[in-house]
Amino acid sequence: MSYLQQYFQSDRAGNSMLGALLAIAILVPILNLAVPESSVFHVSTYTVTLIGKYLTYALLALAVDLIWGYCGILSLGHGAFFALGGYVMGMYLMRQIGDRGVYGNPELPDFMVFLNWQELPWYWYGFDMFWFAALMVILVPGLLAFVFGWLAFRSRVTGVYLSIITQALTYALMLAFFRNEMGFGGNNGLTDFKDILGYSLQSDYTRAGLFAASALILVLAYLLCRNIVNSKLGRVVVAVRDSEDRTRFLGYRVEYYKLWLFVLSAVLAGIAGALYVPQVGIINPGEFSPLNSIELVIWVAIGGRGTLYGAIAGAILVNLSKTWFTGVLPEGWIFALGAMFVVVTLYLPRGLAGLITRKQAQT
């Protein structure tokens, strides 16, 4: 079947996934808020938060799939952009605490009082305003990705070398954020959040709202990514993945294409982080850990790269099994993850999404 035909044909698996996402965006909050707790259909707030967290992971996986699956850039440091988005949101939430902190300082977050800081560092200015924080959620990861990508792609760093320096990037950020002098709470990170936009984070309604927002933003991001990969730009990007030199000698500035896509991907990862933090209630430097970034690449590999919906499915499924597994056999999880990765690499090189396309090809 032809590519062009495929483009104009509807992306069936993707559409079903979008439908499912929209359905849970509406249903889960209703089942949580309107159905009484005694009913079997009631969804506990714990579950709402848990699935909400998975949805932000799915958005992160989507971001990785966009650059790895389509452009062949294997970033092993995408957790860094996720964590930066999270920290930005965390800073906003810290400022919202106001004088309700342990030390009751209206201006300074608790950890700054604890460190005997007298005034707010300049880079904390503005984070008491939501619009400013929201802007920074996009700008901070975007700018870092721009500078990093500009240097890396212009020098034509590719393949495993690029993966290694992305890994180094997230590791360096982790070490930096662990330091108290950085002013981001050191190894405790930012926590004890009270409310967002004036709504208490403890309330079921706020949690349901955050859940719905995560699902909707995931849907929008999916549509955006799909439009991009279906455009001529998407075809150029795949061409870069398959033969970078050929693309360059056809007159495409390969490094700009890569840079543009990398920045977009980082911004999506940042947004995912910003949605993640209010739901889990904490952000600490552990999120920068290189292991996180590697694990998320595994989600995409298991789901099937280069399909977009595969990445989402992979992230949700792997994390569901992680939650289940760590409940049953906590030490076994890392082995189970490794085993899944090996099995998928050996028998399903195109991931779970490969099963669907194979089935479609047969019918």
Partner 1 sequence: MSGLDKMRETFRRDQVWNFLMPRYTYEDVLDTSKGPILYLEDVTVSFDGFRALDDLTLYINDGELRCIIGANGAGKTTMMDVITGKTRPDHGSVFYGQRIDLLRLSEPEIAALGIGRKFQKPTVFEQHDVLVNLELSMRMDKRVWTTLSARLSGEQRDRIDEVLEIIGLKNEAYKRAGLLSHGQKQWLEIGMLLMQDPRLLLVDEPVAGMTGHETERTAELLTSLAGQHSVVVVEHDMEFVRSIARTVTVLHQGSVLAQGDMDTVQNDPRVREVYLGD
Residues that bind partner 1 (CB under 8 A): 2-5, 228, 231-233, 235-236, 238-239, 241-243, 245-254, 256-257, 260
Q: What letter represents residue 197's amino acid?
A: L
Per DSSP, 81 falls in state H
Pick 93 or 221: Cβ nearer partner 1: 221
Per-residue tokens: 15: 């559409």
Tell the smallest beta-carbon distance from residue 217 to partner 1 (Å): 21
Give the pairing of strands 195-196 and 199-200.
Answer: antiparallel
49: amino acid identity, one letter: T
Distance of CA 217 to the CA centre of its chain: 11
47/31 Cα distance (integer angstroms): 11
- Give the shortest CB-178-to-partner 1 separation in angstroms: 37
Bridge partner residues of 309 (DSSP): none
Q: Nearer to partner 1 by C-beta: 106 or 251?
A: 251
Q: How far is the CB of 5 from partner 1 (least distance, A)?
A: 7
* Residue whose CB is less far from partner 1, 199 or 256: 256
> For residue 138, which of 67, 84, 185 has the smallest C-alpha distance?
84
DSSP character string of 78-120: HHHHHHHHHHHHHHHHHHHHGGGSSS--SSS-HHHHHTT--S-
Residue 249: CB minimum distance to partner 1, A? 5
Min CB(159)–partner 1 separation in Å: 17
Rg (CA), the chain: 21
Strand partners, 200: 195
Distance CA 291, CA 74 (A): 15
Nearer to partner 1, 163 or 247 (CB): 247
Taking the CA of residue 16 as centre, how many other CA atoms within 13 Å lie in the half-sphere pointing to its CB?
A: 5
SS3 191: strand
Tell me the closest approach of the beta carbon of residue 319 to partner 1, in angstroms: 30
Q: Give whichever of 133 and 229 is closer to partner 1, judged by the CB atom.
A: 229
Question: What residues form DSSP beta bridges with 196?
Answer: 199
The DSSP code for 125 is: T
Q: Which is nearer to partner 1, 39 or 227 (CB)?
A: 227
5 or 38: CB nearest partner 1: 5
Q: How far is the CB of 234 from partner 1 (least distance, A)?
A: 9
